Amino acid sequence: MKKICFLAVLLSLFTSLPAEEYPLYDFENYEIGTEFLLKDVSGNPVSAKSYAVVAADPTGKDNKVLHVLLVNSWNTYPEYPLPDGFTAAEFCTYQSVAFSLYRPQVLPKNNDNMQTAIYLGDKKIYQEEHPNYPDQGERGKWHEKRYAFTPVETEASYFLLGLHADTMEYYLDNIRLVRVEKGYDYTDETQTLRYYVEQCGNGKHIGVATPSSWKNVIDLNNDLLDMSQTVFRNFNMVVAEDDMKFDAIEPNRNDFNFGYADALVDFAERHGMKVRGHTLCWHKQLPEWVTKNEDRNSHNYSREELLSILRNHIDTIVSHYKGRIAEWDVVNECLEDNQRSYYYGESYMYDLRASVWSKGIGGKLGWGDENVGGDFIDSAFVYAHRADPDAKLFLNDYGVENRGRKADAYYYLAKHLVDNNIPIHGVGLQCHFKAGELDSAGLVRQIQRFQELGLEVIITELDIASSDKQADEFRTITNIFMEQKNCPNMVLWGVSDRDSWRSGALPLLFDADLAAKPAFFAVRDALEKAWNDILSVAPVPNDARPQSPYVDVYNFAGQKIASGMRRESVNFLPTGIYIVDGEKIMVR
Ligand code: G3I
């Protein structure tokens, strides 16, 4: 029956009716020359040379459109009254605003002048975020734009819609509201990803990175938002895509900014989600006071000073979240992409990336440039461990998921840390894959050899470029995640294709309208299969040998959770699968 329902959902995805639309403005009932008010949301006067006026379609069709010309009028948009009797609350029952855009000019160099914003009254409900706004279609042609917005409570009688432009000319037409078919119902928990992961009872987590744009548009206390619900109903782990990085948390020396990160941790706790911390020590997204160039120590800090900056940063953050952030990416992307060689006699070799940390702190670990050393790696792990001895600590990198020199270098680096008793619990494989790049045998081999070192392996930043195989590739990697015992978490790097850092690649599970893509159903199918496989484990006869009344109990991930427990007490453990006397026992 379930399979039939699933097929029906899939079928409906491909045959789905056009999204329901409410037309707002096509300008056909206006006289050419009718002016629309321009509104500056920052309260600055609008330049007298700026205007928004109904005009003929510049492509020569018999059609009326709105022509907007802004001259030094940053943050200024045309204002559109809501139709009579149509309230702001009704507006908010739709999820997206769509319109056609025509741009006669070449794009300005930095593309900054083409950022769409939508306000309902004085409340911003959408602002296009970097890196998506360069996607402005071809100059001199009409193209469609559609944006999912954040509903707000307001009694406003107008909305603003336009481009966050300085000196820019554009035309708009066919402004409408769109209600989108999601393809599944997240209010029914049995249709979500989280449900199947948790049913398996093996302590695994499926996670997601919350996009940096959340900071500007998502009220983390509003659990009714479509975006929030998509996240907390489908995932039981969350990572901040950018908001816990060095520049976000310590923008000025010893001046820590926890506001948004705290709100995200509160959000996660309210929804029973675990938090991964990303990331404590990286060469990128550093504030200028640390370095102006990511590959050097531009302020010429001494080794001692840099160690003290690193220690203070890690100590303050990890202590702040002690007991609340379960695991940290401590050192991120410290290896060079091109590794020369990786094994030399009794020593491990790897080329470390040049960064403020490797150059300024130095040390013997690593075989890169002679001035590049790895002492910062050992130190970062030790600082983090001292600040929260219960947090799990990870290396994280890309290009190390399959086979090859960098993958080997990653293994030897982790081995070096383990051999030297550095407190590391695992490694992250980012898994930003191009279409066809996933090598499942290579990935399994890589996961398993870290297991031999006693390390966990987490899929930390999964996204896979769109292709006709995208759904299959997501299914394959989800199967690997569920099958590999030392792979407790799989984290998607973003929610919807609209917010992805690889926007053109459409690499995630939800499209720009948060509708579920075939990739979502493939992941859910794989998770459901894992649950069905556990259910179908044949009960093991228990009269084969004399039984001790006391048993050690392990969870499905192989961690001991009780010693010498009375055998009958096992039945009172939380629902899940346990290993008792080497046999799988299911507690319902
Ligand atoms: O915060 C500024 C904002 O003030 C400014 O107006 C805007 C306009 O340029 O830029 C904003 O900063 C951007 C930041 O994301 C937050 O949105 C940066 O320019 C942009 O470069 C940055 O991109 C992030 C990237 O890391 C930086 O390297 C991506 O969102 C993020 O997905 C990506 O994530 C990394 C992982 O941390 C590590 N692994 C690779 C992965 C992909 O690159």
pLDDT digits (tens, 9 = 90+) for 138-151: 889 999 988 888 78
DSSP 252: B
**Alpha helices by DSSP H, 94-250:** 193-199, 214-217, 226-234, 246-249
Catalytic residue among 129, 241, 333, 336: 333
Q: Whose CA is nearest to atom 19 of ligand 1?
A: 130
355 lines ligand 1 (CB under 6 A): no
212 lines ligand 1 (CB under 6 A): yes
pLDDT at 187 over 80: yes
Q: Is 141 exposed, middle or buried (0-12, 13-18, 19+ CB in 10 A)?
A: exposed
Q: Which residue did the predictor score with more confidence, 339 or 150?
A: 339
pLDDT at 581 over 50: yes
What number is the average pLDDT over the span 495-515? 91
What number is the average pLDDT over the span 236-242? 97
Say how far apart CA 439 and CA 498 lie, in whole Å: 27
Whose CA is closest to 260, among 295, 318, 218, 305? 218
pLDDT at 426 over 80: yes
20-76 pLDDT per residue, tens: 899 999 999 999 999 999 999 888 888 889 999 999 999 988 999 999 998 888 789
Say how far apart CA 546 and CA 187 lie, in whole Å: 48
Catalytic residue among 128, 241, 401, 461: 461
- Tell me, in angstroms, the distance from the centre of ligand 1 to residue 514's CA: 21
301: left (phi over 0), alpha (psi -120 to 50) or beta: beta
Sign for the CA dihedral angle at 133, 137, 141, 144 comes to negative
Task: Give start-end residues of each CATH 2.60.120.260 domain in the chain.
Answer: 12-178
Task: Give start-end residues of each CATH 3.20.20.80 domain in the chain.
Answer: 193-241+431-536, 244-421
- Tell me, in angstroms, the distance from the centre of ligand 1 to residue 131's CA: 8
- Looking up tokens 């702001």 gives 88
216 lines ligand 1 (CB under 6 A): no
Q: What are the tokens at 467?
A: 């292709």
pLDDT at 487 over 60: yes
What is the structure's pLDDT at 539? 57
- Give the lowest-confidence range in 205-214, 240-249, 413-422, 565-574: 565-574
Contacts of 257 (CB under 8 A, 6+ apart): 248, 249, 250, 251
Q: What are the tokens at 118?
A: 């939508």
Whose CA is closest to 514, among 533, 531, 485, 494? 494
Say how far apart CA 191 and CA 85 lie, in whole Å: 37
Asked if 461 is an active-site residue, the reply is yes
Pocket test for ligand 1, best of 109, 212, 246 (most atoms within 8 A of CB): 212
- Looking up tokens 């690499």 gives 507
Q: Whose CA is nearest to atom 3 of ligand 1?
A: 130
Q: What are the tokens at 541?
A: 């006869």
pLDDT at 353 over 90: yes
Read off φ and ψ for residue 275, nearest 5 degrees: -115, 130
What is the structure's pLDDT at 212? 81
Q: What are the tokens at 190?
A: 């049995």
By percentage, how much of the chain surpasses pLDDT 70? 90
Instruction: DSSP for 396-431, please give it.
Output: EESS-SSSSHHHHHHHHHHHHHHHTT----EEEE--
Q: Whose CA is nearest to atom 7 of ligand 1?
A: 130
What is the structure's pLDDT at 431? 98
What number is the average pLDDT over the span 469-489? 97
- Give the lowest-confidence range in 267-271, 322-326, 572-576: 572-576
What is the strand order of the sheet 76-81 is part of?
A: 38-40, 76-81, 158-164, 115-120, 123-127
Say how far apart CA 128 and CA 149 lie, in whole Å: 10
128 lines ligand 1 (CB under 6 A): no
DSSP 574: P
Q: How far is CA 312 from CA 95, 384, 417, in A?
A: 44, 10, 22
For the chain, the farthest-separated pair of C-alpha atoms sits apart, in whole angstroms, at 94
Amino acid identity, residue 296?
Answer: R
What number is the average pLDDT over the span 335-354? 79
What is the structure's pLDDT at 6? 39
Instruction: DSSP for 306-353, please give it.
Output: HHHHHHHHHHHHHHHTTTT--EEEEEES-B-SS----EETTEE--PBP
- Tell me, in angstroms, the distance from the centre of ligand 1 to residue 528's CA: 34
What is the structure's pLDDT at 71? 87
**Alpha helices by DSSP H, 18-169:** 88-92
Say how far apart CA 392 and CA 413 lie, in whole Å: 18
Instruction: For the chain, give the mean pLDDT.
Output: 89
Architecture of domain 244-421 in this structure: Alpha-Beta Barrel (3.20)
193-241+431-536 is a CATH 3.20.20.80 domain: yes
The helix/strand/coil state of 131 is coil
243 lines ligand 1 (CB under 6 A): no
Cα-to-chain-centroid distance, residue 385:
25
Asked if 333 is an active-site residue, the reply is yes
130 lines ligand 1 (CB under 6 A): yes
Residues 536/464, Cβ–Cβ less than 8 Å: no
Query: Is residue 547 very low, low, confident or very high in pLDDT (cuts 50, 70, 90)?
Result: low
Sign for the CA dihedral angle at 493, 497, 503, 504 comes to positive
Q: CATH: 3.30.310.50, 1.10.1270.20, 2.60.120.260, 3.20.20.10. Which one for 12-178? A: 2.60.120.260
251 lines ligand 1 (CB under 6 A): no
- Tell me, in angstroms, the distance from the centre of ligand 1 to residue 242's CA: 6
434 lines ligand 1 (CB under 6 A): no
What is the structure's pLDDT at 8? 38
Roughly how many angstroms between the first and final C-alpha of the chain, as a whole number?
22
